[in-house]
Amino acid sequence: MHDDRASVDEVEVEVEEAGSGVSRRGFAATTLAVGFAAAVQPVSAQTITTDAQGLDAGVVEIPTADGKIPGYRALPTGAGPFPVVLVVQEIFGVHEHIKDICRRLAKLGYYAIAPELYFRQGDVSQTKDFREIIGKVVSKVPDAQVMSDLDAAVALAKGSKGDVSKLAITGFCWGGRIVWLYSAHNPDLKAGVAWYGRVVGDKDDLHPKNPIDVAADLKAPVLGLYGEADAGIPVASLDQLREAAKAGKTEVEIHVYPGAPHAFNADYRPSYRKAEAENGWRRLLDWFQKHGVAPKA
């Protein structure tokens, strides 16, 4: 039987090549999707669920230059301050998986915050068709807007128990690409970890650069985690990225998991690979610690 969800891997990595143009959205509400996005239903039985015991976790309003956007935040209940990790969504927005990633980090002593970076362009949580998600919403999200909104999330964290002198970022697929861009954008960032985000591709006015274009200008060290069997991200493009990064002054490490598909960390999807995901998570934590972004013992 054909699983329609299997095609999402190829669709997701086409997002940077979709059309341009911006449709503004009013700032009438600051809510997030409840549960998992409609496009990924039904979720897998192996889905990881992290409780919020001992955490301050929930929806927050993030002030930006042109209004408030919603986000999900999780941090320990103690006095802090706590090192800050920006968590950047896949194409499905800040749904339950991204919230769970925040809680996992908070359980380890981090202040994790995931802004809803599509808020102005539209809500993708109830859209079942992947191409509609990309064509109508995701492709219309300007990179400049994303950089500014991530800066706004950092500002919120700074004023609420976040130690932004210890600032990191991680993201998945669409968010993986954003990790590279933000690591070239924010000079205060200490570390980035990108999970299977496209590194080359077409450009347009809203998306003028790809990771390979900024690889020599990174202001923070970046670890990239990729699957060898990811049809949308050829290993050859990762080799190109490694070569481009040699012209820069920051550390770049790209790890490719043999035989792993796209979205191998997405435990709620058929693409999940437990061993590779757990190894990637350990690498993420080691990378943060190596570059000075670790909670107090």
Residues acting as catalytic residues: 173, 230, 262
Chain mean position to CA 82? 20
The H-or-E segment that residue 130 falls in is helix 130-136
For 146-211, the DSSP string reads: HHHHHHHHHHHHHTTTEEEEEEEEEEETHHHHHHHHHHHH-TT--EEEEES---S----SS----H
Tokens 């202040």 sit on residue: 111
In whole angstroms, give the CA distance from residue 7 to residue 34: 24
* DSSP state string for 16-50: GGS----------------SS-GGGPSPPTT----
Where is 59: in which H helix or E strand? strand 55-64
User: How far is the C-alpha of 39 from the C-alpha of 58, rounded, in Å?
Assistant: 23
Is the C-alpha dihedral spanning 126, 197, 66, 25 positive or negative?
negative
Those residues whose C-beta lies under 8 Å from the C-beta of residue 95, and which sit 6 or more positions away, are 32, 33, 35, 36, 37, 40, 89, 125
Q: Which of 87, 98, 93, 102 is nearest to 55 (CA)?
A: 102
Direct distance between the N- and C-terminal alpha carbons of the chain, in angstroms, rounded to an integer: 50
